[in-house]
Chains A and B, each alone.
Chain A
């Protein structure tokens, strides 16, 4: 059963709807004790990374999340939170994955936000089981996670190569929105719910 960290950063209706469609059970994580109730944890997030980090700190869950050994999936800003630092609000983040979140540079002749469907090139990783190379996912973001081959499990290109998904130990993150990415996105959620460590 999946626990969704409920820290007030963005709307989670679409995420819970997607899990319900997949018949994956879920509940909300509001306290440290709640983290124990679930086998898998999702950290959602939309909006400003600095603000989201402040909200997460207010829940008092930061230390407990960093100590988790069960599978954790950060989505969009939730993925950015598991990195070290974001240029958005010059924010220190959870530092679980030693990579940085940077702003897209419009001098690369790209529009910001990066909004829409873009092709993803996954590595051989259980999170992307059954997902073909160049499958498209739905992205909406103005900040990206720098590509680092040690932690990258799927890359994408927008002006430059960036990480569409990362992993370090039991912590996973995806920049795209699996709950909005059609069948491919549902596959990712399904794969995550089946991960065992």
Chain B
């Protein structure tokens, strides 16, 4: 049986991981390679690196980081942030990234999904969607939730699947940062509509929240950042807890 995946997400700026990471035995918490290796060791099933660099040097810096990670890491990883064209994606693929995630660029140019899927296969293309409930509708947001769009989340995800997205990373801006649990209602609804894997994001605060999102929404994977980085949830403990609740995991 296919295991449910646990995915730590790392923010990267100028080739360095940001956000407080306090693993005791890390020599350098800002080193993405060391951090990635640590997570792989703990039993993470996959990693997501989100590049938040805003300078012109970003692309070169990112490629170097991706290569360093790929040299060391023996599990799959996804790179997101700043991918606007085929050439960006190809450079990341050649540097060893398993998947890329696109967000704003796909909203602005939906054909990008189609082009990426045709060039590199659907398995390479993750569509990240930030959603927020506004005036009775789930609306797609950009720029980390600051910019609302006309798109309704359900419609956009369905359209993206048709265009060739291989996986959906859905972040609920209403739940993100609350540590009150994932948005199981919306995740379950979207999951029913599509036939590609979906990663739940936003709201993880305890191990029970992971159990809940797998049981209620039957998502394929769950992603979190701070609960892992601050050591509030240790992946081996989480996997045992999920197993006790009869959720298939890789131990």
Where the two chains meet, the residues of A that have a C-beta atom closer than 8 Å to any C-beta of B are: 11, 13-14, 17-18, 20-21, 46-48, 106, 111-119, 136, 138, 140-142, 157-158, 177, 179-183, 185-186
Beyond A47-B121, A116-B221, A117-B45, whether A13 also contacts B96 by CB under 8 A is yes
Are B5 and A116 in contact, with the CB atoms below 8 A?
yes
Name the A residues within 8 Å of B94 (CB-CB).
11, 13
On whether the beta carbons of B220 and A138 are closer than 8 Å, the reply is: no
Chain B residues positioned under 8 Å from A142 (CB to CB): 122-123
For B167, give its contact among A115, A141, A157, A158 (CB under 8 Å). Answer: A115
- When the two chains form their complex, are residues B2 and A185 in contact, meaning their CB atoms are under 8 A apart? no
- A-B contacts counted at CB < 8 A amount to 86
A139 to chain B, nearest CB (A): 8
Q: Which of B9-17, B66-74, B180-188 contacts A (4 or more CB under 8 A)?
A: B66-74
Does the CB pair A112–B196 fall under 8 Å? yes
Asked whether any CB of chain A lies closer than 8 Å to the CB of B1, the reply is yes
Closest to B45 in A: A117
Q: Mark B60-82, 1 if CB is under 8 A from A, else 0.
A: 00000001001110111000000
Q: Is the CB of B75 within 8 A of A182?
A: yes
Residues of B within 8 A of A119 (CB): 1, 3
Contact A117 B74 (CB under 8 A): no
10 tightest A-B CB contacts, nearest first: A13-B96, A117-B3, A117-B250, A136-B250, A140-B123, A17-B71, A47-B121, A180-B76, A118-B2, A11-B93
Q: Determine the residue in chain A with the shortest Cβ distance to B251.
A: A136
B120 touching A47, Cβ below 8 Å: yes
Q: Which residues of A contact B197 (CB under 8 A)?
A: 111, 113, 115-116
**A interface SS class:** mixed
In the complex, the answer to whether A182 meets B74 with C-beta atoms within 8 Å is yes
**Closest CB in chain B relative to A132 CB, distance in Å:** 12
- Taking a contact as CB atoms under 8 Å apart, the answer to whether A111 and B195 are in contact is yes
Cα–Cα distance between A177 and B221 once the two chains are bound (Å): 19
Evaluate whether A113 and B2 lie within 8 angstroms (CB atoms) in the complex, with A13-B70, A140-B123, A185-B74 already known.
Answer: no
Pairwise interchain contact A13-B196, C-beta atoms closer than 8 A: no
When the two chains form the complex, which single residue of A11, A118, A157, A179 contacts B3, counting CB atoms closer than 8 Å?
A: A118
The distance from the CB of B41 to the nearest CB of chain A, in whole angstroms, is 10
Instruction: Decide: B96 and A17 in contact? CB cutoff 8 A.
Output: yes
Q: Any chain A CB within 8 A of the CB of B95?
A: yes
A114-B167 Cα distance, complex, nearest whole Å: 11
Contacts A116-B221, A119-B1, A185-B74 given: A180-B123 contact, CB under 8 Å?
no
**With A140-B98, A180-B98 given, can you name 20 additional A-B contacts, CB distance below 8 Å?**
A11-B93, A11-B96, A13-B95, A14-B98, A17-B71, A21-B74, A46-B123, A47-B120, A106-B195, A111-B220, A113-B197, A115-B197, A116-B2, A116-B197, A116-B220, A116-B221, A117-B2, A136-B3, A157-B1, A180-B74
User: Which chain B residues border A118 with CB–CB below 8 Å?
Assistant: 1-3
Which parts of B147-179 form the interface with A (CB within 8 Å)? Answer: 166-167
Give bound CA distance, A136 to B74, whole Å.
13
Q: How far is the CB of A133 from chain B (nearest CB, A)?
A: 14
Give the CA-CA distance A120 to B96 in the complex, in Å: 25
Q: Chain B residues near A14 (CB, 8 Å)?
A: 70, 96, 98
B63 to chain A, nearest CB (A): 11
Docked pose: A171 CA to B90 CA in angstroms: 31
Give the complex CA separation of A111 and B193 in angstroms.
11
Q: Is B40 an interface residue (CB 8 A)?
A: yes
Among B98-124, those with CB < 8 Å from A are 98, 120-123
> Chain B residues with Cβ under 8 A from A177's Cβ?
76
Question: Please, which residues of chain A bring their CB within 8 A of the CB of B67?
Answer: 13
Closest to A114 in B: B2
With a cutoff of 8 Å between Cβ atoms, the chain B residues found around residue A106 in the complex are 195
**Please, which residues of chain A bring their CB within 8 A of the CB of B195?**
106, 111-112
Least CB separation from B69: chain A residue? A17
Q: In the bound complex, what is the Cα–Cα distance between A106 and B194 (angstroms)? A: 11
Query: B71's closest neighbor in chain A, by CB?
Result: A17
- Docked CA distance A13–B5 (Å): 24
A119 vs B195: C-alpha distance in the bound complex, in angstroms? 21
